[in-house]
């Protein structure tokens, strides 16, 4: 069965710091990978997605993620965070099934 692990549960950064959030999945076949963001009081919104092709994908608001197949990873990065990036971030995987499985989320707090 497919599963998703996000090892960073709570990350605290100052503005302008660099961000990397880990995401690992377990599934041996072809995968579709997603990062979603949930701002306080709102529902989830798509940040970026990977289906095939260039393993480095760029999303909205300066976020990017790199798919490393050999490591079963899809880490999210941003070179310089802003206070407005304070939110919860969810990695999700669809491994050639109809189910989209989410990780437990990483809460990011950015202080000015």
Partner 1 sequence: NAGVTQTPKFRILKIGQSMTLQCTQDMNHNYMYWYRQDPGMGLKLIYYSVGAGITDKGEVPNGYNVSRSTTEDFPLRLELAAPSQTSVYFCASSPTTDSPLHFGNGTRLTVT
CB-wise, 75 or 94, nearer to partner 1?
94
The DSSP line for 26-57 is E-SS--EEEEEEE-TTS--EEEEEE-SS-SEE
* H or E segment and range at residue 84: none
CB of 73 to partner 1, least distance (A): 17
- Applying CB under 8 A, the residues found at the interface with partner 1 are 6, 9, 32, 34, 36, 43-46, 49, 51, 90, 94, 97-105
CB of 17 to partner 1, least distance (A): 24
CB-wise, 27 or 102, nearer to partner 1?
102
């Amino acid at each position: 069965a497919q599963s998703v692990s996000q090892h960073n549960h709570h990350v605290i950064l100052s503005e302008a710091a660099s961000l990397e959030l880990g995401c690992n999945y377990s599934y041996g076949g072809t995968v579709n990978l997603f990062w979603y963001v949930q701002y306080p009081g709102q529902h989830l919104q798509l940040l970026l997605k990977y289906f095939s092709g260039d393993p480095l994908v760029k999303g909205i608001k300066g976020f990017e993620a790199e798919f490393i197949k050999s490591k079963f990873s899809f880490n999210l990065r941003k070179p310089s965070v802003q206070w407005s990036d304070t939110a919860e971030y969810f990695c999700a995987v669809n491994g050639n099934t109809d189910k989209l499985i989410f990780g437990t989320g990483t809460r990011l707090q950015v202080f000015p």
